[in-house]
Amino acid sequence: MSEYSIRQVFEKDGILASHIAGYHERTQQLEMALAIADAIEHNTQLVAEAGTGTGKTFAYLVPALLTGGKVIISTGTKNLQDQLFSRDLPNVRDALKVPVTVAMLKGRSNYVCHYHLERAANEGRFLAKDDAKYVHVIKAFAENSKTGDKSELNSVPESATIWANVTSTRDNCLGGDCNFYKECFVMEARKQALAADVVVVNHHLFFADVMLRDEGVAELLPSANTVIFDEAHQLPEVAGLFFGEDISTSQLMELARDCTAAHLSLAKDCVQLGEVIPVLEKACKDFRLIFSYEGSRMPVQKALALKNFEPTFEHMQSQLQALAQVLETQAARDPLLEKCWQRSMALYDLLSRWHAAENNNLVRWVEVFTQSVQLHATPLSVAEGFGKQLSAQPRAWIFTSATLAVKNDFSHYLAQMGLQDAATASWQSPFNYQEQALFYVPPDMPDPNHPSYTACVAAAALPVLQASGGRAFVLSTSLRAMREIHALLKDAFAENGIESPLLLQGDTSRTELLDRFRKLGNAVLVGSQSFWEGVDVRGEALSVVIIDKLPFAPPDDPVLSARVDKLNAEGKNAFMEYQLPYSVITLKQGAGRLIRDEDDRGVLMICDPRLITKAYGKRIWQSLPPFKRTRVLSDVQAFFANDLD
């Protein structure tokens, strides 16, 4: 793979230009492709930041496909995974005319399981009325589908409760003991992936499989010459989920559900089994009830101090042990009963380890949901664990995203991921931000901790939204602020006769909200974390992005607190080395929603006065694209008035 051949692909009248509609030559894209080709050729690590519009997907696909070795591409989301597999990879492969085989591998919950589908259809016990109808639709799909991938079945909503009954988990898969093993969609997907030259996975699957030694990516890695992580800024958080240990009451409830099914179909004569299952279910529900509200994340000390935590936890644990003891007496009767017994023991061990807290490198904390409680043990750092993967055998590792550095400094990301030997490179967006966009920080805003702050955000946003005629995302750093801003804007719109439709995250699915936003053309969408990244709205429909405050991780976040304490104890400046880089990378993602195309125009408004009043503020805005900046509202109004002329 020569530099000359790479240049031929990307040049103005080159291979991509002649095969792909709308392709534009970009110097940044070519330079990035050459850097990736070099890393692949020499089996090195490269951390590459590429601004919006660089065309990073083609920049890594071309050298990856021209090398001839096995390549694993891991993406941040299943949507991007589908786009790569269905659109980008076939387009580039056809343009290059290379005989490369491609496969996509998802987590097992994405594939219909013949065994669980059969059982669900026969037993007919469903959580929702529509499930009885859906199970027949899924059955017909499974009989005719080559992949069993549920994303191909649009007539059953992704949120339908039936999916939990007709897919398998790592816990309840029977493996080689299953009667449907030869027809298994998961095994077929893995077989295809092992044989393919290029395999597309997502970050969650990559780490789940590699860390848990499931037979997916763990089998693929030894033969891979190159691993490419797209949206690599998400890796530290995703890796943390899998280098730690978590257990949820929902896992115990799922075990109880599967035990009930096994009891009714395989061991009806075991009266004791029918008695212990509901006792465990009640114990799980009682444990959830000691936490008064959902959506909270608390350190273990706060959880342990709650009234009745210890006795309720111990009761739940002892009931799980009682179930395991009964299951042991029935395990020899059927593989399903044996699997339930193994799961009960594994879950008991997880509960015991979480409570005993024997590993000082793990931060214990609790997350409360509407129906369940999740007990987390998260590593203070993933650097050591991930570093072992990097040094396992020679191969190229590519990490790319639009947001990895703080003012071209990658040290925060490199330290997080244990990338001691990685080269770094950065390419600015080809967009003309000076002409296309304006960055506005409103004057006279109170401190973000002031009780009136959110009301001031809504008040400052109103004239901007009037000037733009809607066409805006209003992004908040918390769900509470999101709901308050939405309520304030709703009243203000009514008072001022503003007719822009007002949409709120959570009213319907993200996909549906985005479709409505695009079609309406003048809407204002108030959202939180879901809309900070992975959202692409091109054209005039999105002409304003308003951000309420700098996205520092909440100070009461238990993992953040522990990491800050550790860094400070080591004599480091936790704010500058950890909290500020986290905020900058998240802010760059939110700001990146605005300009998505060469013809886009818009205003980025960040309400937080700390951008101006704090010494670190300059470091933050210098990390953003080179917008023209203002603090004067009339400049914003003139910007949109010029658009209308």
Question: What does the pLDDT look like over 133-151, one tens digit per residue?
Answer: 899 999 999 999 999 999 8
Reply yes or no on domain 243-379 having CATH 1.10.275.
yes
- Give residue for tokens 């300009």: 595
Q: Are 584 and 552 in contact (CB under 8 A)?
A: no
Q: In 3-state terms, what secondary structure has residue 397? A: strand
- Taking only the tens place, the pLDDT of each residue in 180-227 is 999 999 999 989 998 999 999 999 888 887 776 554 556 777 788 999
- Give residue for tokens 């409760």: 161
H or E stretch covering 447:
none
**In this structure, is the dihedral angle defined by the CA atoms of residues 229, 234, 235 and 241, taken in order, positive or negative?**
negative
- Give residue for tokens 């991780």: 553
Q: What is the dihedral of CA 521, 524, 528, 533, to 10 degrees?
A: 30
The one-character DSSP state at 576 is: I
H or E stretch covering 557:
none
What amino acid occupies position 216? G
C-alpha pair distances (Å), 62 with each of 90, 195, 305, 397: 12, 20, 56, 16
- Distance CA(382)–CA(243), nearest Å, equals 7
Q: Which of 153-167, 241-255, 345-359, 624-638 is least confident?
A: 153-167
- Distance CA(604)–CA(590), nearest Å, equals 10
CATH top-level class of 433-644 = alpha beta
**Residues 6 or more apart in contact with residue 390 via CB below 8 angstroms:** 45, 397, 418, 419, 421
Same fold, 243-379 and 433-644: no
Domain map of the chain by residue range?
A: 3-107+187-241+381-427, 112-167, 243-379, 433-644
- Specify the length of the chain in residues: 645
Nearest to 305 by CA among 289, 283, 290: 290
- Per-residue pLDDT band at 645 (split at 50, 70, 90): very low
Q: Which of 9-13, 127-131, 234-238 is least confident?
A: 127-131
- Taking only the tens place, the pLDDT of each residue in 372-408 is 999 999 998 888 888 888 877 889 999 999 999 998 8
Higher pLDDT, 220 or 538: 538
pTM, two decimals, is 0.87
Geometric angle at alpha carbon 478, from 229 and 291, rounded to 5°: 100
- Distance CA(476)–CA(382), nearest Å, equals 28
- Distance CA(89)–CA(91), nearest Å, equals 5
User: For residue 205, what pLDDT is reported?
Assistant: 87
Residue 555 has pLDDT above 80, yes or no: no
**Residues 6 or more apart in contact with residue 478 via CB below 8 angstroms:** 528, 554
- Distance CA(57)–CA(55), nearest Å, equals 6
Task: Transcribe 326-357 into DSSP letters.
Answer: HHHHHGGG-HHHHHHHHHHHHHHHHHHHHHHT
- Per-residue pLDDT band at 4 (split at 50, 70, 90): low
Architecture per CATH, domain 3-107+187-241+381-427, reads as 3-Layer(aba) Sandwich (3.40)
